[in-house]
Structure 1
Amino acid sequence: MTTEGTGTQSAVKDQTPAGDAPLVELRGAGKSYGNIRALHGVDLKVFPSQVTCVLGDNGAGKSTLIKIISGLHQHTEGEFLVDGAPVRFSTPREALDRGIATVYQDLAVVPLMPVWRNFFLGSEMTKGPWPLRRLDIERMKKTADEELRNMGIVLDDLEQPIGTLSGGQRQCVAIARAVYFGARVLILDEPTAALGVKQSGVVLKYIAAARDRGLGVIFITHNPHHAYMVGDHFSVLRLGTMELNASRDEVSLEELTNHMAGGTELAALKHELSQVRGVDVEELPEADALTAPVASSEGKS
């Protein structure tokens, strides 16, 4: 339990590297499970005040990448650096102590507990002498309200169960909680996957707010349109390898979408569909247009 303020928050801020050095960097990183190679040769840099979007289809290796950076699994090849120094985390707690926080899709909240209680879940403020120490409820409510407002989140009643909030609001509370407890690198695992258009917009707004507060954000998503709205750098995984690694000024939304969908596979699909009676493929992009971004990205990397 935390008795006075947030010790983790102040500790990790002292570790912020100077200049334009990446907060987190992977160099040729990979992960094998026995004979299965889930990830291979991945290069990734996460800078402060930037949103790094990692896209890929199911089985592309996104979950494995998250597990390595968050300390759940250790890489089996390449290097993993934090603040320029090689690391090998044994637990997610070690990653959190270095300022790397992960917000998963299930958010790790207790639906029937109030918003303020979930905000401090596992890191409650207390007051009074031991062994009569008790929860400092008023200070937790005040702090939660202040931190949520700092992120632009205004809730009328912090006593309401967090389960009564919309999916987008719960995601935003989880983001604000990670920021308050000292996150410098924020990993968001498919935060808009189960949300509608309006609620997705709310989450994207607070992803941008986290970036503006100086965090390095890793935004994991299937949706290239959501990624392009807030992203500064884009990495596309395919079958465990990095297919695209480009900054915003090096790739268009159309190119990003083609990489995400698989330009070569779409070209082959167009050819197959052309053999089916009643299917009009004239309006579909030409094979050269679908595969061209692949060649251009290889020249840029």
Structure 2
Amino acid sequence: MSEPLLPAPLLSVRGVSKRFGGVRALVDVDVDVREHEVLAVVGDNGAGKSTLAGVLAGAHRPDAGEVLLDGRPVVLDSPAAARALGIAAVFQELALVDDLDVVENLFLGHETLRGPLLDEVAMEREAWRLLDQLAASVPSVRDPVRTLSGGQRQVVAVARALLGSPRVVVLDEPTASLGVRQTAEVLNLILRLRERGHAVVLVSHQAGDLQAVADRIVVLRLGRVHDVFDGDASYEDLLAAMTGAVRPSARTSREARR
């Protein structure tokens, strides 16, 4: 029986390499991202994860290779160019302004006007709509962002990325420095993004978090794609691929064959 055909990739990188000075951050990387999929990218520190996220988000232009959207080559030479093509990113720093409230952060630089004035009512209504779709537990959209928890801040950053209805959402280390409860909130948020039809690229070094939400997992090691797993891969297999270690069970099996 033949295997079912996979849908064509929405977003692909082919033969992408990126160097920073003498450091090769990415080496001949091939990755596909499909619609309605959470593609996790995992690796140890220095594996090239954030550089790949930067390439997809238009923050880093590759030295070699190409990026394809719907099978056609595109140039992602700035975050604005990526957003115009339907690719939005949320990086670990979040880039939120602590003293501004949720509405002001969501629409910063993209304010809705009514004549010469800001349309505060329309922006507040849209803010609640986005947050409701993400089932976010933000107490008020008029609270300053500095009063929110780490998980709530992540939700605000993701909601801002959803303005303009992107097809692909790139999340760089969204659970870094979060507690257990806040991490669970963010993982639920990722599942809701998939349910809404977005393709999600989830970059993390925390393999255990990825297993809860990922459809496929790409392991980067020293800038190269080392392996690709289904979402139900074991933690031991992921850790071995990330570090180059040999699983105890695999070592035992080899010794038994001697």
What is the TM-score of this pair, normalised by structure 1? 0.78
Give the ranges of 4+ consecutive aligned residues of structure 1 lying more than 3 Å apart after TM superposition: 33-36
Equivalent in the alignment of 2:3: none
- Partner amino acid, structure 1, of 2:38: V
CA distance 1:157–1:33, change in 2 (3 Å): closer
Equivalent in the alignment of 2:96: 109
Q: CA deviation at 1:227?
A: 0.4
1:1-301 mapped onto 2 (5 Å cutoff) = 20-128=7-115, 133-248=116-231, 251-264=233-246, 285=248, 288=251
Distance in 2 (CA, whole Å) between partners of 1:134 and 1:86 is 40
Distance in 1 (CA, whole Å) between partners of 2:252 and 2:160 is 44
Alpha carbons 1:224, 1:260 under 8 Å: kept: no
What is the TM-score of this pair, normalised by structure 2? 0.90
Q: Which runs of 5+ in 2 are unaligned?
A: 1-5
Q: CA deviation at 1:181?
A: 2.4
Distance in 1 (CA, whole Å) between partners of 2:154 and 2:177 is 11
- Partner amino acid, structure 2, of 1:183: P
Q: CA deviation at 1:170?
A: 0.8
Distance in 2 (CA, whole Å) between partners of 1:205 and 1:289 is 38
Distance in 1 (CA, whole Å) between partners of 2:16 and 2:93 is 27
Q: CA deviation at 1:83?
A: 1.6
Distance in 1 (CA, whole Å) between partners of 2:139 and 2:180 is 23
Alpha carbons 1:53, 1:218 under 8 Å: kept: yes
RMSD of equivalent CA atoms: 1.9
- Partner amino acid, structure 1, of 2:187: L
Alpha carbons 2:138, 2:152 under 8 Å: kept: no
Q: CA deviation at 1:290?
A: 10
Distance in 2 (CA, whole Å) between partners of 1:188 and 1:103 is 5
Higher helix share: 1
Work out the percentage of aligned pairs sharing the same amino acid: 42
- Partner amino acid, structure 2, of 1:288: R
Query: Bigger radius of gyration, 1 or 2?
Result: 1
For each residue in 1:99-145, what CA deviation from the matched residue of structure 2 results, as whole angstroms up to 9, or x when unmatched?
A: 111101121111111111111111110011xxxx1110111111101
Alpha carbons 2:221, 2:243 under 8 Å: kept: no
- Partner amino acid, structure 1, of 2:237: E
Query: What count of residue pairs does the alignment treat as equivalent?
Result: 249
CA distance 1:243–1:289, change in 2 (3 Å): farther
Secondary structure of 2:162's counterpart equals helix
Distance in 2 (CA, whole Å) between partners of 1:222 and 1:286 is 23
